[in-house]
Amino acid sequence: MKRPNIILLIIDTLREDHGKGLEALEQFGFVKYENAIAPAPWTLPSHASIFTGLYPSMHGIHESYGVYVGEKMAELSSAKMEGLRLGLLGELGDYGYDTYIITANPFITPLHGFRGTKSIHLRGFLYSLDNAYLNDLLRLYKNHLRLARELMRRGQAWLSIKGAYYFARSKIDQALVRAGIYERPILEKGSNLILEILDDALRGGRRTGIDLRKDEGSFFLFINMMEAHAPYVAGDIDDSLSVNAYLEAVFKGEAPREAVNIWRKRYPIHSAYAVSRALDIVRKLSLVIDDSLFIVTSDHGELLGDGGFSHGYFLEDGVLRVPLYIRWPRGMTALKQEGQLISLTQVPSLIRGVVDGSTPVIGRRIAMAESFGSNFNYSGRISVTEEEVKRVFSHRVKVYLQGGKWFVYNEGTDSIEKVEGMGMDEAKATAKNLLQW
C-alpha cells in the first residue's frame, strides 16, 4: 500500500497575528491548531528542530560567540545534520520516499545540511549574483564554469535563465530607488519561480527533476517561501539596514526609529502577500492534496519594535508564536489537539505517526524556545562593551506552560528575566528541571 505523501510549507517569518487570510485553508480541508510555538527565533535552528524533533541545545545547530551567519555556521550546521542523518530527510529516505526541497532561504540548502533527493535553492538567483550564498557555491565548485556545469547537471540551467529575470529586476528596483523615481511596494522573493517549478513538477518534472505525479512511491516535498521576510524596501537588499538596526536592538535595547517605522509599515504588506502566495501554492498542489499530509506553518515571526526588532536573539511572542494548519490524508481522521500548546519540534513525530501507521499526537502542556546570542557578527558594525557581549551571548530559554503561564530563564546568570502567572522560585525550579537533558 502506498504511503501518504508529505508536504511541508514554511511561510518564512510569518507571525501568528499577521496570518489573516490563512483561514481560507479550511476550504481545502485544513484544520487550524492553536498556540504553535517556534523552537528558536530565527531560521536555521528552528528548521533544524522542525526536521529533527530536537530543541536547539540538543541538536547543537545555533548561534554562539564566534559562530555567526556566514562565519562557521554552514560548517557547523552541515556536520550536525549529517550526524543526525539529515533528520526527516534521512528517515523518510529510509522509507523509500523521494525527498524534494524547494527553498528561497539561504540557510536551507545542502551547504547547511538540508539535502534531498532533489534540492532547488533559489537564493542565488533572487537578489544579487555576488552574495554570500553564491560565493559559498563558487568556493565549493572552484570557478564559474564548474558551477554552471553543476547547475546543468542538476537540471537547473532552466532555473538559471529564469533567475536572470529576477536578478535584473532587483537591480532595476535598486536603481529606481536611488534615483528617487519609484519604490516597488512588494519585493518578489521567489514565489513566482516556486509556482513555475511546481507546475513543471506536476507535469512529471522534465525541467526540474521533481516529479509529483509518479504512480509508484511517495514523496516528501518541503517548500520555504520568503515573501514575509526582509528586505521590505529595495534599499535593504544588501541587508545593511536590517542587520544594523537588529544589532542596535540586541546590544543597546532599541532599534533606530527609522527602521522600526519601515518595518511597521511594510511588514504587514509583505506578510499579507506571503499569505496570498501560500494559498496559490496550495491551490497549485490541489492535484496531489488528497493523498498527502500537508502542514503549513512558519519557522518564526518578526518583531516590529514590540520587544525587539527583526528576528533572532529575542524571545518575544511576536517572533515565537506562529500559525499552524494541517490537512490530514484521505481516510485519516483529523487529530484533536491534546494540550494547550504545540511545539514545532512535534513535526517529525507527527509525520512519523502518519507514515508508519502509529497514532501521532499533537499538542502538549509545555513548549520552549531557545536563544544563544546574536546570530550576526557585531564586530565592525556597532561599538559594544564587554558587559553587553556577556549579556547577549548567554543561553536563554522561554518556557510556555498551560494556563497562560510563561517565563524567560537565563542559564548564564541563573536568573529569571521575565515571568507571568507564577513565582520566581517556581519558574527557576521548572527551568532547571527542564534543562537537565
The mean pLDDT value of the chain amounts to 89
Pick the closest to residue 100 from 258, 238, 211 (CA basis).
Answer: 211
Categorize the per-residue pLDDT at 170 as very low, low, confident or very high, splitting at 50, 70 and 90: low
- The confidence score (pLDDT) of residue 404 equals 95
Contact between 91 and 352 (Cβ < 8 Å): yes
Single-letter amino acid, residue 226? M
Taking only the tens place, the pLDDT of each residue in 107-166 is: 999 999 999 999 988 864 444 333 444 555 555 555 555 655 555 555 555 555 555 555
Q: Is 2 exposed, middle or buried (0-12, 13-18, 19+ CB in 10 A)?
A: exposed
Copy the grid coordinates of residue 388.
Answer: 553587553
Q: Is the pLDDT of residue 323 over 60?
A: yes
**408 vs 193, more confident:** 408
User: What number is the average pLDDT over the span 2-13?
Assistant: 97
Categorize the per-residue pLDDT at 178 as very low, low, confident or very high, splitting at 50, 70 and 90: low
- The confidence score (pLDDT) of residue 153 equals 56
Q: Provide the residue ranges of all domains of the chain, joining segments of one domain with +.
A: 5-404
User: What number is the average pLDDT over the span 354-368?
Assistant: 93
- The confidence score (pLDDT) of residue 122 equals 81
Q: Is the pLDDT of residue 177 over 80?
A: no
Taking only the tens place, the pLDDT of each residue in 404-425 is: 999 999 999 999 999 999 999 9
Categorize the per-residue pLDDT at 172 as very low, low, confident or very high, splitting at 50, 70 and 90: low
Categorize the per-residue pLDDT at 216 as very low, low, confident or very high, splitting at 50, 70 and 90: confident
Q: Is the pLDDT of residue 99 over 50?
A: yes
- The confidence score (pLDDT) of residue 167 equals 53
- Chain centre to alpha carbon of residue 263: 19
User: What number is the average pLDDT over the span 390-403?
Assistant: 96
**23 vs 131, more confident:** 23
Copy the grid coordinates of residue 241.
Answer: 539596514
Q: Is the pLDDT of residue 270 over 50?
A: yes
CATH of domain 5-404: 3.40.720.10
First to last CA, the chain: 39
* CA–CA gap between residue 330 and residue 288 (Å, rounded): 11
- The confidence score (pLDDT) of residue 124 equals 45
- The confidence score (pLDDT) of residue 125 equals 42
Q: Which stretch of 54-68, 74-88, 148-162, 356-370 has the lowest confidence by average pLDDT?
A: 148-162
**CB neighbours (10 Å) of residue 396?**
22
**233 vs 173, more confident:** 233
* CA–CA gap between residue 122 and residue 181 (Å, rounded): 28
* CA–CA gap between residue 416 and residue 372 (Å, rounded): 16
